Amino acid sequence: AQSVTQLDSQVPVFEEAPVELRCNYSSSVSVYLFWYVQYPNQGLQLLLKYLSGSTLVKGINGFEAEFNKSQTSFHLRKPSVHISDTAEYFCAVSDQQIPGKSTFGDGTTLTVKP
Amino acid sequence: EAGVAQSPRYKIIEKRQSVAFWCNPISGHATLYWYQQILGQGPKLLIQFQNNGVVDDSQLPKDRFSAERLKGVDSTLKIQPAKLEDSAVYLCASSLDRRAGRGALHFGNGTRLTVT
């Protein structure tokens, strides 16, 4: 079984500032890692995913995340945020041996202020 | 490509009533999921279908929840009878990759259920 902890429930930042949303996971097996974004009254949309290879992955809208196996972390970063990045962000893990069963964190609300 | 379609968008019912949600996945996606998202929490998997067969329903409260995926395309999730704690957003998702854990999940906009 896996679990995901998103360390910050709310992150307020000013426009054009950098941001980091933290995600730690626990698993006894190898996992795939994902970040999703959810805008108000919408479903979740994939930002980026780590399956294998380079530990730094780049996604849509200028976001990137780094997989750190020793620290079991997958933090999401963006060097300069926009008002339109205001949304809920979810980190998720999936057991490589159990297709499709993703476990989600409880989300981080990113609020970008002008 | 058209996204995952869900209906209705909103539903308000009284406890002990029944309700059904419908989902049409992206064309060609073999794997379909139903997730429950309670306010302030992340989505939690209720059931996973591969084509029209159930892969995982270990988290589905089978005494009141049921789901089916006829002909491996559309799916319906039913709650009967509903309880107050069933108030949540019900999200349908689909994925293409046959090793579905590798692929991204494509989500619909969800159905917001309020049980009074």
CB–CB contact B101 A99 (8 Å): yes
- Confidence grade of residue B99 (pLDDT, cut at 50, 70, 90): low
Beta bridge pairs of residue B10: B112
Calculate the alpha carbon distances from B89 to A45, A54, A58, B82, B83 in Å: 16, 35, 29, 14, 14
- The reply to whether A105 touches chain B by the CB within 8 Å rule is yes
A103-112, B6-15, B73-82, B100-109: the lowest-pLDDT one:
B100-109
Q: What is the pLDDT of residue B51?
A: 86
- The reply to whether A7 touches chain B by the CB within 8 Å rule is no
Phi-psi region of B86 (alpha: psi -120 to 50; beta: other; left: phi over 0): alpha
- Interval B44-60 mean pLDDT: 91
The pLDDT tens digits of the residues spanning A15-31 come to 999 999 999 999 888 88
CB–CB contact B41 A106 (8 Å): yes
Q: What is the pLDDT of residue B101?
A: 54
Per-state percent for chain A, helix, strand, coil, to nearest 5: 5, 55, 40
Q: What is the average pLDDT score of chain A?
A: 93
CB–CB contact B109 A105 (8 Å): no
- Interval A44-54 mean pLDDT: 91
- Interval B81-93 mean pLDDT: 96
Q: What is the pLDDT of residue B30?
A: 87
pLDDT at residue B100 tops 60: no
DSSP conformation class of A99: T
CB–CB contact B31 A96 (8 Å): no
Q: Which residues of A touch B105 (CB under 8 A)?
A: 34, 36, 44, 46, 100, 102
Give the C-alpha separation, A42 to A23, whole Å.
Answer: 22
DSSP conformation class of B51: T
Q: What is the pLDDT of residue A102?
A: 86
Chain pair A-B, CB pairs under 8 angstroms? 72
CB–CB contact A99 B99 (8 Å): yes
Q: What is the pLDDT of residue B102?
A: 66
Q: Which residues of A touch B48 (CB under 8 A)?
A: 100-101
pLDDT at residue A99 tops 70: no
CB–CB contact B42 A99 (8 Å): no
